[in-house]
Structure 1
Amino acid sequence: MKKTGTSNVVLVDEEDNELGTMEKLQAHQEGRLHRAFSVVIFNDQNEMLIHRRAKDKYHCEGLWTNACCSHPRFNESSKEAALRRLQEEMGFTTPIHYFDSFIYKTTFDNGLTEHELDHVFVGRYSNVPKPNPEEVEDFKYINIDLLKKDIQNHPENYTVWFKKIIKDYLNELIKL
């Protein structure tokens, strides 16, 4: 296992202890548990910023998800990575706060398995993002009730981790 490289993920155990690194695609092919993060952003009207993943992503392409999600690099904290990727993906920075983490595992139609220990961060931002078109196909701020209704009616349009965040954590996140 390599210890460096931006295309690597940090392998962890269920307590988030580092076990080494692995090339990102290989980790998804083997379904290895690795560290990830998700950033949830609300505006001043308590609408949530969501984005549609670019069509050329290696999984979950074209699906709606939270403002930003990715993997920290080796020797990079999840918060540092979240702030870096928020700028790289959505074109802005804003203060974020750690909320919680969870583990999920799902296998996609393309044979890849997402097995992540996902650290959730929350922040506030009310301006218009300037997303990177290589990462983001579309974005919008959406009313929470409309979002929950759309997820209920069209769950296939949303990423697995985002649906878990909405189902398990939304009521606490919106209060922060």
Structure 2
Amino acid sequence: MHTAEHTIEFDTIESRHAAPADDLVVLLDEEGREIGTAAKSSVHGADTSLHLAFSCYVFNDRGEVLVTRRALTKKTWPGVWTNSFCGHPAPAETLTDAVHRRADFELGLDIDRIDLALPLFRYRATDSSGIVENEVCPVYLARASADPVPNPDEVMEFTWTQPETLRRSVLASPFAFSPWMVLQMRELETFRA
């Protein structure tokens, strides 16, 4: 019986981390209007086209925020601490649906509530390998009542921390965090879900 329970648990974890069916991203013009789609693998390079993405910060019932460390296999900013999760909506997918999908895929989490905190956030950053991120990236605050079950291809570590502790750490040591998170911390006035 003990083995069967573990098998069921393992099967649940595996199904939660199934690869996304669609890896297309939505391309945008300088005014933020959709102008087409492209394969995700083709838009993250030295000359990255502007595209739509999102960031999300997940809070638990104790008011703590989930911070994750990107897997070492990630193409951009591997091993860097960042917000709870990020992603790209598929063509014709709402941002809210994309947030739910990525919460499940990256962290095995069901999100209870989602609030839009920074609707117009945009950034451009270049990592040490020369890969450029160039995104219109609305920022969401969400709530979850369970601990994550991270997908090891996405997340190598996580921790829950107090929002103000995180804010002070990010602003004091920006080199230790993803560039988008540093910029978001400067813009997020109310940082709690």
Say yes or no: TM over 0.5. yes
- What pairs with 1:14-163 in structure 2 (closer than 5 Å)? 14-29=30-45, 30-94=47-111, 95-99=113-117, 100-163=119-182
CA shift at 1:154, angstroms?
2.7
| Alpha-carbon separation, structure 1, partners of 2:139 and 2:165 | 22
| Paired residue total | 170
| Alpha-carbon separation, structure 1, partners of 2:167 and 2:92 | 36
Is 1:172–2:185 an aligned residue pair? no
CA RMSD of aligned residues (A): 1.6
Deviation string for 1:4-26 (max 9, x for gaps)? x7222110124431110112232
> 2:170 touches 2:176 (CA, 8 Å); kept in 1?
yes
> 1:36 touches 1:72 (CA, 8 Å); kept in 2?
yes
> 1:14 touches 1:117 (CA, 8 Å); kept in 2?
no
Where do 5+ consecutive residues of structure 1 fail to align?
none
Structure 1's consecutive aligned runs of 4 or more residues displaced over 3 angstroms after TM superposition are none
Deviation string for 1:89-112 (max 9, x for gaps)? 011111212232311111222121
Match in the other structure for 1:12: 28
> 2:68 touches 2:156 (CA, 8 Å); kept in 1?
yes
Report the residue type matching 1:110 in the other structure.
S
TM-score by length of 1: 0.89
> 1:28 touches 1:112 (CA, 8 Å); kept in 2?
yes
Identity of aligned pairs, percent?
34
CA shift at 1:44, angstroms?
2.6
TM-score by length of 2: 0.81
Where do 5+ consecutive residues of structure 2 fail to align?
1-20
| Alpha-carbon separation, structure 1, partners of 2:159 and 2:95 | 25
> 2:170 touches 2:185 (CA, 8 Å); kept in 1?
no
| Alpha-carbon separation, structure 2, partners of 1:25 and 1:119 | 21
CA shift at 1:142, angstroms?
0.8
